[in-house]
Amino acid sequence: MFCLFLCSFASGCMALPVLMNIKQVIEQRQCSGVWTHKDELPIEIDLGKKCWYHSVFACPILRQQTSESNPPMKLICGHVISRDALNKLTNAGKLKCPYCPMEQNPSHAKQIYF
């Protein structure tokens, strides 16, 4: 837990200068509508692999813990399943989400990191 705290602290220290620069540019250009929600960032900040944290995620379909060879995949609809489940649920190049009625192309699923 302490290691996670240190990584979170280090991430904040790396992101703060970027966020301060963005704030300054927004104020100079008077673009107050860029941030529409308090919990939203207008850009993605790359913190490098050393700040990636992968917690334990069990696929709700196969009930198996994800791993590097079977990572969690986010579907277009926002639901998350393992890559193995994604492959098993794919039929004729289409995937129907097991939680909602959305049909999608399996290649549009993105690997996520917790």
Residue 68 belongs to a domain with what CATH number? 3.30.40.10
Give the structural domain span for 5: 1-31+49-53
- Give residue 39's pLDDT: 58
Q: How many domains does the chain have?
A: 2
Beta-carbon contacts of residue 38 (< 8 Å; ≥ 6 apart)? none
Task: Give per-residue pLDDT as tens, 53-111.
Answer: 656 789 999 999 998 899 999 999 999 999 999 999 999 999 999 999 899 999 999 99
Task: Give per-residue pLDDT as tens, 10-36.
Answer: 888 888 888 888 878 877 877 666 666
Cα angle 101, 102, 105 (rounded to 5 degrees) comes to 140
Instruction: Classify 81 in phi/psi space as left (phi over 0), alpha (psi -120 to 50) or beta.
Output: beta
The reported pTM is 0.53
Beta-carbon contacts of residue 72 (< 8 Å; ≥ 6 apart)? 57, 59, 66, 80, 81, 82, 83, 111, 112, 114
Beta-carbon contacts of residue 94 (< 8 Å; ≥ 6 apart)? 103, 104, 105, 106
- Give residue 8's pLDDT: 76
Cα angle 60, 46, 49 (rounded to 5 degrees) comes to 65
Q: Are 95 and 59 in the same domain? A: yes
Cα–Cα distance, 47 to 31 (Å, whole number):
26
Within a domain: residue 42?
A: no
- Give residue 27's pLDDT: 77
Within a domain: residue 75?
A: yes
